[in-house]
Amino acid sequence: MTHDTDADVCVIGAGIAGVTTAYLLAMEGRSVVLIDDGTPGCGQTGVTTAHLSAEIDDGYTEIVRLHGVDGARLACDSHQAAITRIETICTQEGIDADFHRVSGYLFLSPEHGEQILHEEMAAAQRAGLEVEQLRHAPVNGFNSGPCLHFPRQGQFHPLKYLNGLIEAFTRSGGRVYGGVRATTVTGGKLALVETAPGPRIRSTAVVVATNVPFVDVFAIHTKQAPYYTYVIGARIPPDAVTPALYWDTHDPYHYVRVQRTSNAALGGDNDDVVDVLIVGGEDHKTAQASDTEERFGALEQWMRERFPSAAAVEFRWSGQVMETQDGLGFIGRNPLDADNVYVATGDSGMGMTHGTIAGMLICDLIQGRNNPWAELYDPSRIRVGAAGEFLKENLNVAAQYTSYITPGEVSSLDEITPATGAIVREGARKVAVFRDEAGEIHKVSAVCTHLGCIVGWNKAASTWDCPCHGSRFDAYGRVLNGPASKDLEKIASHSEDRANEHVQK
């Protein structure tokens, strides 16, 4: 992107939420510019496990308590509609995204009795979801024990889907620009998006689909919290485990599915069919645990106890989910902003369906149509029943500010091995220090540019993550994820010896 441009709508962020919104608006004849700081799918959509479920992660027992039966029915309706919309788009656009309808099975974690399943089944039925209780899931390779069965859920390959959507979007005249970071959004009759490279975009509406919005300082960020989750993948013999979505009642829950692919796609030298078991879980508040290896290890042990056909773990990855205080996404007009600035955030671990709902809902709002889900997902909403969660998460945020007075993690820069980072104390300030593969030291301020919490090193992703509201920065301090919109402040590099003098444990 080299020049200022105009469009009906500017969509910021090319993950599933932004791309779906851009695609649906383009299908209605709107001129749309879609920009992304990186490349499409480089955010959380690129690391998702892509379960498509209308059984809300927090459970309908909780959703009914917080949103009432009517709200739960709308939530169920919207997530079912999202799965159907993905299926329809794949068919209409000829996108081969490995979409399949599969059953979902919610099974018991050892600490729980069957009562939890009885209650959840009753609540899910009140929400209008088809569900039955079984003594065992009728599947190969997994002894589930008592479980709930949700027929006709889905799974797909998110990046194949995203690429197909982008192709359809550009065929309809949509414009996509990668490597363009939006820095400010000014709503109003003619909204203005300013970007880091310089060119500006003028439009009549702006959709901020950056996973966590950078256009809001407090309103949304006090109502959602960042959690970090881990995933492993291991080959299983073909058909050893029936393709389905499996997850348990543990908190945090474990989630499992099977991806069929070819040996060649995994770097092998033939096209033999390969099934990969994908297992996730071990979540914690972002930047509030550093035992990465232990978490991957615990996940593997959990998998081996339940899926004995799994071979050695071949794949490991991780990512962030945003948990809202009331279990549903924030989708709609940005609170305290002009009427033509929209946000999609708060995936609550269900960003594939929430992102698709965002596309449908925001498209309706921009097109001036009523949408029955608008109030349920309104980012300005406050649910009285969520006050406890609100308090708990915000006390946790407040506690993070004590990091200003704690010591650094290392007493000498020599302790920082290549390709890792650590927080060090230099006099009164905390510094985030990264040693690159070549051994060179890179220092930035450890103070998050959103509201000043102290970031922590994420071993699994080699990023600096903020424990407060979800901001993430690369190893050199460049912002990857909002709400921060600015990079971590660079600290003039001294020679390493000199820097070492200032390090205080």
Ligand X SMILES: Cc1cc2nc3c(=O)[nH]c(=O)nc-3n(C[C@H](O)[C@H](O)[C@H](O)COP(=O)(O)OP(=O)(O)OC[C@H]3O[C@@H](n4cnc5c(N)ncnc54)[C@H](O)[C@@H]3O)c2cc1C
Contact footprint for ligand FES (CB under 6 A): 448, 450-453, 466, 468-471, 483-484
The 332-371 contact track toward ligand X, x by CB under 6 A, reads ------------x--x-xxxxx-x----------------
Q: Choose the binding region for ligand X from 29-37, 124-132, 384-392, 426-434 (rule: CB under 6 A).
A: 29-37
Q: Does 81 participate in binding ligand X (rule CB under 6 A)? A: no
Q: Give, as ranges, the residues between 138 and 197 that touch ligand X (CB under 6 A).
A: 181-182
Tell me the DSSP string of 108-155. Answer: --TT--THHHHHHHHHHHHHT---EEESS---SS----SEEEEEEEEE
At closest approach, how far in Å is the CB of 463 from ligand FES?
13
At closest approach, how far in Å is the CB of 484 from ligand FES?
6
At closest approach, how far in Å is the CB of 4 from ligand X?
16
Q: Does 49 participate in binding ligand X (rule CB under 6 A)? A: yes
313 binds, among ligand X, ligand FES, none (CB under 5 to 8 A by kind): none
Cβ pair 12, 185 in contact under 8 A? yes
Nearest CA-CA partner of 347 in 26, 36, 48, 126 = 48
448 binds, among ligand FES, ligand X, none (CB under 5 to 8 A by kind): ligand FES
Half-sphere exposure of 308 (CA within 13 A, CB side): 2
At closest approach, how far in Å is the CB of 491 from ligand FES?
18
Tokens matching residue 246: 């499996």
- First vs last Cα of the chain: how many Å apart? 46
**Peptide bond connecting 483 to the previous residue in cis, omega within 30 degrees of 0:** yes
Neighbours of 191 (CB within 10 A): 20
Query: Is residue 255 classed as helix, strand or coil in its secondary structure?
Result: strand
Q: Which ranges in 346-386 belong to alpha helices (H)?
A: 351-366, 374-377
At closest approach, how far in Å is the CB of 208 from ligand FES?
16
User: Distance between CA 162 and CA 177 in Å, rounded?
Assistant: 15
Nearest CA-CA partner of 296 in 134, 478, 502, 461 = 461
448/503 with CB nearer ligand FES: 448
Q: Does 36 participate in binding ligand X (rule CB under 6 A)? A: yes
**Total number of residues binding ligand X (CB under 6 A)?**
41
Tokens matching residue 374: 């608008």
From the list 47, 217, 289, 336, which residue makes contact with ligand X (rule: CB under 6 A)?
47
Neighbours of 320 (CB within 10 A): 25
At closest approach, how far in Å is the CB of 43 from ligand FES?
16
Tokens matching residue 122: 């009753």
324/471 with CB nearer ligand FES: 471
At closest approach, how far in Å is the CB of 451 from ligand FES?
4
The 206-225 contact track toward ligand X, x by CB under 6 A, reads ---xxx--x-----------
Residue ranges in contact with ligand X by CB under 6 A: 12-18, 35-38, 42-45, 47-51, 181-182, 209-211, 214, 229, 231, 280, 319-321, 344, 347, 349-353, 355, 482
